[in-house]
Amino acid sequence: MKCNVMKLLSSDAMLRALLLFIVCAVSLSVPLEAEACTSFIVSGKATKDGRPMIFKNRDTSGVNNVVVVVQGELFRYLGITGYTDKKPRNIWAGHNEVGFAIMNTAAYNMNGCKGDDSDHDGWLMRRALEVCRSLSDFEHLLDTLPKPLNVNSNYGVIDAAGGCAYYETGDSGFVKFDANDPREAPDGYLVRTNHGMTGCREIDSGVERFMAITDFMAEAHREGHIDCEYLIAHTPRYLTHGLTKQNLLENMPKDENDVRMIHFTDYIPRFISSSAILIQGVAPGEAPSHTVSWTNIGWPCASVAIPLMLEADVPLPTIVQRDESDKAWLCSKSIAQKLKVFNQRRGNVRDYIDQSKLVNAAGTGVVQRIMPLEAEVFKHARKALDKVRKDKDGAKALREYYQWVDDFVKGSFLGE
């Protein structure tokens, strides 16, 4: 009898161990939440001003980002990178002086059903910014780089000739989705989160955010809001859940003291959202150097998007560059505001927010206070960008605008 009991215990232990192994194996096949993003691309045929766009809300565990300007092998470029990446080796979105621009979302499913992440996504984007002028250049780069590419991404790309496409890319090659082709993009835009349409669909990730960005873009298209200012201001702050359709702008707490803790996962903005960028290309006949990166670094719900252009001898605003701590002032300030919203210090702190600190009926939530400040930044930006585009002493206008942005944002930012 004793031997039989021991056998049963042994078998039971073995069964538990086997189940634990299976759970771990399945969990490892699912992409880590720490690397995820939400994006769209829009053909110039669908925008109000004829300029194509690409957008990315970046989610990553490395939340401290800076903006850099680098002279690459062929072209000078502007991009977002992590504050510890000082060379930089990786760029996570940006544009170059000849009007080529690129961003990505991790796809996870372009190399089979294992759900592996990849190491070279940021490296590939940096390399593309250094040497590519056009979509065809990018395709040539993908074709000629040694295989396997060690990538697993949806790359969104535009160029100065109006090209606008996604490239679902894995180790051995890519599939192109052209936003200028009405058969592939009937309304002139496409969206992607963390799966490719041509990959292993059994492990689709970012599904709830895919639902959210699909709903958001459909509404923006229907209401005539396919313009850069509206999209960069509202996409990274879209507070309707793609699956449950819960809209946090409905039934809000009365003010910031009316504490209401709610579950907050799989919205477009997340605890790990670290930047948002909308890169606006050029209209037909416009100089490629007039490409603009509307750049929001830090937690986008509590940061400000600033339009940035590449202009010789015009340094970027200091608040988006590395300071003496190697971090960017604007990024650090926005993260401090984020921690007032995600204000739990025990338990699953990334999954719950105090809604009253984000939005409330009194209009004193972080989002509600940052957007008027950002609107003022946009108002002044229009004048500066107009002078650049009309070649009316554009360098001087841009230099003065960047200085104004530094002074205004530092003096007006939340809690300053």
Any idea where the domains of the chain sit in the sequence?
30-412
Alpha-carbon distances of 397 from 25, 272, 378, 400, 402, rounded to whole Å? 57, 35, 14, 5, 9
pLDDT at 94 over 80: yes
Tokens representing 119 are 């190491």
Residue 391 confidence (pLDDT) = 85
Alpha-carbon distances of 50 from 43, 44, 74, 165, 280, rounded to whole Å? 8, 4, 28, 16, 10
Domain 30-412, classified CATH 3.60.60.10, yes or no: yes
Tell me the average pLDDT across 290-297: 98
Q: Model confidence at 119, in pLDDT bands (50, 70, 90)?
A: confident
Cβ count within 10 A of residue 263: 12
The torsion angle over the Cα atoms of residues 63, 64, 67 and 73, rounded to 10 degrees, is -80
pLDDT at 117 over 90: no
Residues 6+ apart with CB under 8 A from 409: 304, 306, 317, 319, 330, 373, 377
Mark 390-406 as b/e (b = at least 16 C-beta within 10 Å).
Answer: eeeebeebbbbbbeebb
Please report the DSSP string for 29-86 in residue order: HSPPTTEEEEEEEE-TTTSTTS--EEEEEEEES---EEEEEEE-SS-EEEEEEETT--
Mark 266-297 as b/e (b = at least 16 C-beta within 10 Å).
Answer: bbbbbbbbbbbbbbbbbbeebebbbbbbbbbb
By percentage, how much of the chain surpasses pLDDT 90? Answer: 88
pLDDT at 32 over 70: no
Tell me the average pLDDT across 20-43: 60
Q: Model confidence at 416, in pLDDT bands (50, 70, 90)?
A: low
Residue 344 main-chain phi, psi, to 5 deg: -80, 140
For 205-247, give the secondary structure using H, E and C: ECHHHHHHHHHHHHHHHHCCCCCHHHHHHHHHHCCECCCCCCE
Residues 6+ apart with CB under 8 A from 16: none
